[in-house]
Amino acid sequence: MELGLQDRAVMVSSIGCSVFGYYYWRMGNIGAAHGRAPAVATAVNRIIPGAVVVAYQGDGDLAAIGFNCAMQAANRGERMATFMVNNCTYGMTGGQMSPTTLIGQRTLTSPLGRSAASEGYPLHVAEIIDQLQAPVYIARCSVADTPRILQTKKIVRKALELQRDGKGYVYVEVLSPCPTVMGMDSLAAARYVTEQMEKIFPLGLFRDTSDQAAPRPPAAAPLSLPELFAKSDERDFPPPKPDPSYTERRMIFSGAGGQGILVLGLSVVEAGAFAHRFVTWYPTYGPEQRGGSVSCSLVVGGQPVGAPNVEHPDILVCMTRPMLAQFLPTVKPGGLVFCDSLILDKDAPTRNDVRMISVPATELATANGSNRAANTVMLSALLHTNATGLPEEAILHACDDALRKKPKLIEQNRRIFEAGRAWCRENLKA
C-alpha cells in the first residue's frame, strides 16, 4: 500500500505456509501447484504487461520440488520478485527435513539429526542464484528480532520498487523461526535463527546491480488464437463456418509407428479445415520412432468442438491387432471400424453392433510401389464410404498437401489412392 501498487500487484503462492496467503495480502492472488510459483508468475508477466509480480515460497517448496523452476526463472531474468521464507523445514506438512535443514537438526524425517554422509549438506539458494548473470538484486535477511525485521522491511521495499520500475529478477531469502515444528517457544526459536541458522546462512546483500540495469520492457500482448495459428502454419486454411446440418464425427486412427497413422489423421483434419469445418487433432505415441503403438484422436464438426478428446469414436481405423483389441470396445454402437485385412483372422476380436470393414491396405499399397502408404488406401476407403462426410475435393487436396515437402511422392501417392478407390468400388458398399 505504501508504494501504491495494489492495482498492479499479483501475488503467486505455492503449496506450503503461503497457501493461505490470499487471506493476508490485499492484492491479486493466484495459488500455484507445489514449486511452480515461478512458472505461474512468468505466465502472469506474459499475459499482463506491466504487472508487479511476486512469487512467495517456502524453502521446502522452492529449494526442493520447485528448484529447477526457480533457477530457470532467475536465469531468464524474469520480471518478478521471489521471496523464499527459509525456516529449514517443511513447516506446513508436519516438519520433515527440507533442502535447507541444518547438519544435526532434528526433524520428523531426520529424528537423529541431518547427516551430511546420508542426506548431504544444506542448500544455499541465494549463493547459487548469485552465480547467474540475469538477477539484479539478491539478498538474505531475517525476522528473528525487531532490528532484523526493520532491515527486512527495507529489503522488501527495495525488491518491490525494482518490480515497479521493471528492472528484472529479484531474489530475497528471509530466515524465519518456526516454533511449532522446532518444538521451542518463540524466544528460543528466534535465538535458533540468530545463533544457528545465520552461521550457515549469513545475512547480507549478495548483489545489487539495479542502478545499472535498464528497465526490461513488458512482454508483448499474447497473440489471439487466429494470430497464433496463422504464425504456426504457412498454409492458408479457410475459416470454419457453422453448419448445424453436418453431424460431428469423432474418430480414432491407430496402428504402429511408421504406418503413417498421424499423417492419415492430419489429412482428414486438414480436409475438414479445407471444407470449412471445425476440427481438432492430437496424437498419442510412445518413444519408438518405428514399431511402437501410435494413435490419434480427431474431431470434425459443423459447430465449435467442445472437447477434443475422443473416448467413444464413431469411426475407428486400426492397422494392428493390439490397437484393434484396445479400441474396438470403445466404438459407439452403429459405428464404423476400418481394419487392415492382415489383422483380421478367425481369432480377431469383433462386434455385431458395428460395421467391420476389412481393407487390404498394406497389400494394395505394396502392389503399387510403397508398403508405407497403406494409410493412403485407408483414406480412399473413408472417402468411398463417406464416413467423414467431407467432399472429395477437400480430401484429395489434403492427400496432396500431406506430401507438400516431398513433391516427388505425390504422383505415386495418388496412384495408390486410386488403386484403393478402385478396390472399394468393386468390394465395398458406400
For the four alpha carbons of 45, 48, 53 and 56, in that order, the dihedral sign comes to negative
* Within this chain, domains 9-208 and 228-427 share the same CATH topology: no
Q: Which residues of 288-318 are buried (b: 16+ CB within 10 A; e: fewer)?
A: eeeeebbbbbbbbbbeebeeeebeebbbbbb
pLDDT tens by residue, 323-353: 999 999 999 999 999 999 999 988 899 999 9
**What pLDDT is attached to residue 222?**
67
Q: What is the pLDDT of residue 287?
A: 64
- Overall fold of domain 228-427: Pyruvate-ferredoxin Oxidoreductase; domain 3 (3.40.920)
Q: What is the pTM of this model?
A: 0.62
The mean of the pLDDT values for the chain is 90
Tell me the mean pLDDT in the region 70-92.
Answer: 93
pLDDT at position 98, please?
A: 93
3-state secondary structure of 114: strand
Q: What is the pLDDT of residues 135-149, one digit of tens each?
A: 999 999 999 999 999
pLDDT for 408 equals 80
Give the domain 9-208 fold: Rossmann fold (3.40.50)
Q: What average pLDDT does range 351-375 have in this prediction?
A: 93
Mean pLDDT on 221-248: 77
Ordered DSSP codes for 258-322 = TS-HHHHHHHHHHHHHHTT-EEEEEEEE-S-SSSSEEEEEEEEESS--S----SS-SEEEESSHH
Segment 372-421, tens digit of pLDDT: 889 999 999 999 999 999 999 999 888 888 777 777 878 888 899 999 99
Per-domain residue ranges for the chain? 9-208, 228-427
